[in-house]
Structure 1
Amino acid sequence: MYGITRQDIQIIDTKIELQKKYLLSRHFDFGDNTKSALDFTYSANLNPKKYFAEMNNRINSIFQYAKDLNLKPVFITLTAPSKYHKTNRKKELLINPNETAKELTQIWNKFTSLQIFRRIKKELGHGLIYFRVYEPHKSGVPHLHAMLFLPAGYILSVKKKYKEYFTNKDRWGNNKKSIDFKYTFYNSAGGAIAYIMKYVTKTFKNENDESTQYASYWYIKHNIRRFLCSRTLAPVTIYRKVRHFFKKSENDYLRVSELIKNNQIHRLFEDTTYSYMFYNHETGEVENVTVWQKNSDLILNSRIKTKDTFTLKYTKKDKKKLLIAFVSDFEKYAFNETLEKFILMPVLPSLLSNYQLQRYYTILDNQDIKTLDLVHFGLVKNEMIKRELLREEIINLNEYVEANPLTNRRAVAHVPLQFCIAEEIGYDVPFI
């Protein structure tokens, strides 16, 4: 189910267990309380309860924010183009689901960059508000569920543009997609929130539901994010650091976002490292103590290491077209500018089609053995055997060398066939 095997489950469970064991072995003391590193982890795989609680808070906060702006929720579904559903003989997907999810993201970004969305952004004064959830088909191919919040007057226009965009044959060709566009609503029973949460909860492991359990492993195996949303409210990194001071607020996430918007909460030392000088009485030396740092890459004077920016420029080199003269299908000469003459081009059996290979083998088989490169003949014959065009056993090429010890030829070249002029010679340039 979802392309997940029992072996995948065993490998993922072992990996998660080792990660949990490591985090539980790291402790922090806060007076009488001791916490492990796992208690501070927001990973959906390692600490799903904490991750789900925070995500649920974000969803409810964004819903409330959109509702206060009198925006209406619209639910859409988008499947990947048909080429991403192709499988091999073992029913394995030819394209990794992670690549498919990235392609769906690109499709979504292009769609939400249309002119109608730019008008909405200009009218509202901020970016588009939305949620996105990836969900696997039974085959393991992801499809996208999204909920975006629009002014009521734009819903029908967006629906029309949505249908036109994703059914345009000039844009998508034969890569058909399944699309869906629904209206939803706010109410006391949950409404739009319940609608999106139905898909979000499917991404978490559920021991009582085999389908949901396999789906949770699908997200881990292919490194696909469970839930994404627009950057409407405060960044999560800031909210996690300050929410303790707003735990009594009815909606702390909205409160923090409002204060940041009004410049009442600032990120200090965002782009620098803050430190002070400390005199160590034991060593008698002055030490530099870091209070805040953007990252761990420090240079002298406790400043952040900056990376020089550079631009890569690619200049396409025009290759000079090779001059080739054809004598026959298997005898052609290429002009060598260094030697200033035409050189016989070797015939590579592995690059020939079955029909060409059979013809070439027949020509060599009827040729005088005195003029034949036996090693090359053996190479051609073995290729015939590999393709099951001959029912013989593959012969070691050394046996061909031993059969004709006087030859000093190699398998990468062959003696020209007997020179003959056809009634009409096909060539790229006049043959000299």
Structure 2
Amino acid sequence: MAKTKVIIAGAGIAGPVLAMFLKAKGYEPVVYEKSAQPTSHGLSLALQTNGMRVLSLIPGLLEQVVGGRIVELVQYSVLLEDMGELSRIDVPGQVEAATGFGMKGVQRTVFHRTLLDHAKSLGIPIVFSHQLVAIKEEHDSVTVTFANGKRDTASFVVGCDGLHSNTRECLFDKQEPSFTGLVQTGGLSETPEELRAPRIVNWYDNGAHIIAYPVNDHLTSWAITTQEVESQETWRAMDEDAQQKIRDGPFSQWPYGAGKLVKSGTNIIKYGLYDRPELESWHKGRTVLLGDAAHPTSPHLGQGANQAFEDIYHLVRLLVKYNPEAGEPSTELLSKIFTEYESTRISRTSTLVKRAREQGEIRVVNGVEECKKRNDQLRTTQGPFSEEIYREIMQNPFEVGHSEVSI
């Protein structure tokens, strides 16, 4: 009997992971990607406890992931009127000791290649240069048309095609993103001596913020957030003259190791941060959205990829629950699965999107007195990296040892 075919739009971070789960559960996934080849752009992401739990369900995957371990969160003020350490918590280390899953910074391109290679090793086809442009529903199937004129038909479609999702546009029309007023400039640097510890570090000043964390045993990824005019999300490195201006600019003078990172930065990129309209539903007929295609978020909580992994866990959990033999599901059954998936995920992701936006507002404030107020907030347990908030995020999507999905 032929296996139930699933088209996955997008071979970024989420698409290959979903494909691995579906393949293990008896489906026949095929992943289509609009780019001509795996991206060489982008900097890094932090795999957090919740995301790593999901990845741990795929045999042999986490052992291949190269990254920098993170056990501590440290915050500094570089404001001349209020200089010094603001807070230091070791909750990531505590959570790792208790559950076996902590935090790990990874270079995005390296991590992406690892996911693609692992998916291919399991026999999952990943087809590049195929941009989804149209979706046509049939009684018991769905046909996808690509920009190159080719078509494919499957039982259902999952849109994992990110912030600029064509799948989302096909389902719910084009929705213009809105610029938040914040721009990030980031790069990769050899880790200076004072930052050679397994930690995320935040530095705060008047109108600017820097975050940094290790992505392997010798490289650190960093990003500066400022309020500036709009800068498009190209994710491509700036030209060499523009990069040198960043290296020679005022951020290269920041203390506590931040300046050394900026001064030696490579692959420096600049990009605007955008909000997208919140969706009331993530599916229509036989097509459903996942990850940034469904709930794009600003990066200030580092939960983008991790929330996509939570999406994957719950979507697969419900497919297994209601379609345990991985047979051809009716539209009615898919509607039941997708609706329950949404009811589980929309409220949680909406909360985290709002919390990430608030983080950005806390990090980048203007005026000495406002900055002092921010610093006082960050010194307390009610700050954005408090133990309570961290543990609340990290307890999902399942307790260690109690996964409803196994491979």
Return the TM-score normalized by structure 2. 0.23
Give the structure, 1 or 2, with the largest relative contact order (CA under 8 Å, sep 6 or more).
2
For the pair shown, the structure with the greater C-alpha radius of gyration is: 1
Structure holding more strand per residue:
2
